[in-house]
Amino acid sequence: MTDATTASARVTPMMEQYVEIKTANPDSLLFYRMGDFYELFFEDAEIASRTLGITLTKRGKHLGEDIPMCGVPVERADDYLQRLIAAGHRVAVCEQTEDPKEAKKRGGKSVVRRDVVRLVTPGTLTEDALLEPRRANLLAAVVRVRAETRGFTLGLAHVDISTGSFSVGECEPETLSAALARLDPAEVLIPEALRDEFAPAVADTRAALTPVGRDLTDPARSEARLAGHFGVATVEAFGPLSKAEVAAAAAIVVYLERTQLASRPPLARPLREGRGAAMEIDAATRANLELTRTLSGQREGSLLSVIDLCVTSAGSRLLAQRVAGPLLDPAAIARRHDAVEALVAAPDRRRAIRAALGRTPDLARAAQRVAFGRGGPRDLAAIRDALMGAEALAAVADGLGGASAELGQIARALEAADHALAAELAATLDDELPLLKRDGGFVRAGADPRLDEARALRDESRKVIARLQASYADATDVRTLRIKHNNVLGYFIEVPQAHGERLLKSPHAESFVHRQTMAGAMRFTTTELGELERRIGEAGETALALELAIFEALAGRVSAAWETLRACADALAALDVAAALAELAVDRGHVRPHVDDSLDFHLENARHPVVERALQAAGKPFVPNDATLSEPDADAGLVQLITGPNMGGKSTYLRQAALAAVLAQAGAFVPAQAARIGVVDRLYSRVGAADDLARGRSTFMVEMVETAAILNTAGPRALVILDEIGRGTATFDGLSIAWAAIEHLHEVNRCRALFATHFHELTALARRLPRLRNATVRVKEWKGEVVFLHEVAPGVADRSYGIQVAKLAGLPPAVVKRAKAVLDELEAADRASPVERMIDDLPLFAAVRARSEPDAADPLHEALDAIEPDELTPKGALEVLYRLKALRRG
């Protein structure tokens, strides 16, 4: 909005105010409140018009040109905000901060005071209309701090402002991408100086990147800022936090203070996430395995969408968190499995729990909105219903506490819920509730006598006037006395003139004040009638004010009980996840895996949960398979080399092994008949083909970069699945790369690995690599056609059946026929023979490294070995250098 912010010509007072506020918020679209609309002007209006598809109009002149303008109704603002935020924009909400009547008192041309009350960004959303119910909405901050013992370390903090959860931790620069991929934040704060360095890691998450200045991430001020936000004397109150963690947490709270302006969101004290607590899964692996969303970014079709049988939004969010970060501690994993097993064994209780949870609202988000000052009557009702549901569920969960420590802990948290608050809310709130508190009508009749009286005056003024009229008629004995109303006198008492004359002389004369004499009638008023008239006039405002006061009192009770409410919400979510996973196990035939600290990995009749579900929907069976990547008492994992045709199921076989590890360590049962899994600390997947043109990477380069990351970092506890490594380049180049990669996995990484390939020549490596096992996907030929059996068995594929697959895909018959002819000629040339000889003659990967050492008979090397640097004078060193150059020339 350059033309607006650089204005120097005289403008209207309203536009002058707009320009001033916009200048203070140059990076945000300004929602400028004008009555029942939020208006946008200048460049903001043009952007909003394009993004929202709303009409662009004009309003007056500025610097001799028309001022572009568009607006959205206040009542529908949330819908438009959602679309603007999704398009990557930030919005500054500017409200009227005074009553227009007050502005008029300063003069007819005075402008109503306005100010920005909130900056709306992707990571600071709280409204239901702006949030996905089943997805956490995280704001993350990354800060780099110089470490005492090693270069630099990164502090990574994240908060969900919609629930108040707050966590901090550390990571290394090389693991930042994996850490952010696990969190899947909506917005990431990055210091401006580190923007280019860390932008690729943020890009992998599809989060909005928000650069922030050094003042926000200054480690020297972080401790005071974080302690001040929570009102504690020192950050030591939060436990042992590093400087990097404190700096990242402080960046979060300062950013929230600056964007929320008028209010401060309640936050839980930062919880430290220890390093090595969760399975490390990089962004590429998450995408390849489609853990929480598909490659196209959709939830439907992902692993999470298939296993999520939760009946509450909070349960779905917790399940997504567990799938994104599977545990590494076998004891903690076992506790989760115990809870699922206890609910599997108690079907009646499980059904009762799920039915009750299905009626339980989202307590965490409702309590947060109320405590944050953004809640409404329906949020209070959600808290009431959730607390009442928790009370009922506590008894059911407590009955299972003996079989599961986790269920016992959940039961205790539910029992500790604030049931007095639930009773108060139930006694106060009406059955039918408005969305907004400003609409009133949400307090139950009988909850407050003053409110009942105000409502009676507002809603039943005729009856109140009739009762007063009857009392006056009885007191004066004038049956024709009437109370009437007009716009001049307001309410008045009217009697026939004869009765009026007597009334002036009666004992009631002091009470009845004469106001007007008409032909045949006289009019009076009383102090009581005047007060009643005033009260009737103010009744609507009074009723609303009383309701708002009641709302604020209840909101205060919610704020005071916020920590307890969060604990209750967490317990409800955990119970929902346990019950949902038990339902999944029973419904889909999943079994409890045995998870320990060994390097074991054995799956019996394992299945791919997503593919199986899709086949079931089509009425087709899924063919299960075993997978073994370990041997008893071995100090390293097996590498399984899988050959076979495309469409035979190799990729499915690879992925289902990886998904079994994720499910098992997330605390779920797995789709198999039996499973033994030694904890997997890192999961790697290189499956499929994709380019990254934005970073200048071809499909093959992406494949090589991802493969390099695996070979450089995978350790003995890792699980690696690789599919078609080397197929993106020339045949012998690709074969060589795949060959070397297998040797490296076997000799250096020593991890459990599944390696699918079409290079059949590699199967001969099993003769020299003791922990390499060959397996093949079985097929059968029938009357010239290939039948895929989808069975994986020990052995080697004799060919790839690529031409048969091409025929199924619909290649022209002439192309298929020609391909067969070319294949026959190539096979006749016996291309495999040289490779077979190389398997026996070429040294192993480790031996290749040994051969690269200097030859001891080389004179140059002998001369180098003879040098004693500490004994050389400067002149002697120069002479040695000349001698070495002479040897080099020789």
From the annotation, which residues make up the binding site for ATP? 644-651
Cα-trace Rg, the chain:
37
CB atoms within 10 A of CB 391: 16
Maximum CA pair distance of the chain? 144
- Residue list, annotated binding site: 644-651
* Residue 247 Rama label (left phi>0; alpha psi -120 to 50; beta): alpha
Q: Decide if 546 contacts 454 (C-beta within 8 A).
A: yes
Q: Which helix (H) or strand (E) holds 155?
A: strand 152-160
**Two tokens at 149?**
């013992």
Q: Please, is 105 exposed, middle or buried when counting C-beta atoms within 10 Å of its C-beta (0-12, 13-18, 19+)? A: exposed
Euclidean distance between CA atoms 648 and 640, whole angstroms: 17
Which residues are registered as beta bridge partners of 75? none
CA atoms within 13 A on the CB side of 12: 11
Euclidean distance between CA atoms 407 and 388, whole angstroms: 19
- CA 502, 505, 511 angle in degrees (round to 5)? 100
Q: Please, is 117 exposed, middle or buried when counting C-beta atoms within 10 Å of its C-beta (0-12, 13-18, 19+)? A: middle
**Two tokens at 119?**
């900056």
Euclidean distance between CA atoms 303 and 666, whole angstroms: 12
**Separation in Å, CA 118 to CA 28, 258, 623:** 11, 8, 55
Q: What's the full length of the chain, in residues?
A: 890
Helix (H), strand (E), coil (C) string for 499-554: HHHHHHHCHHHHCCEEEEEECCEEEEECHHHHHHHHHHHHHHHHHHHHHHHHHHHH
Q: Which residue has the tokens 């609303």?
A: 544
Euclidean distance between CA atoms 2 and 65, whole angstroms: 14
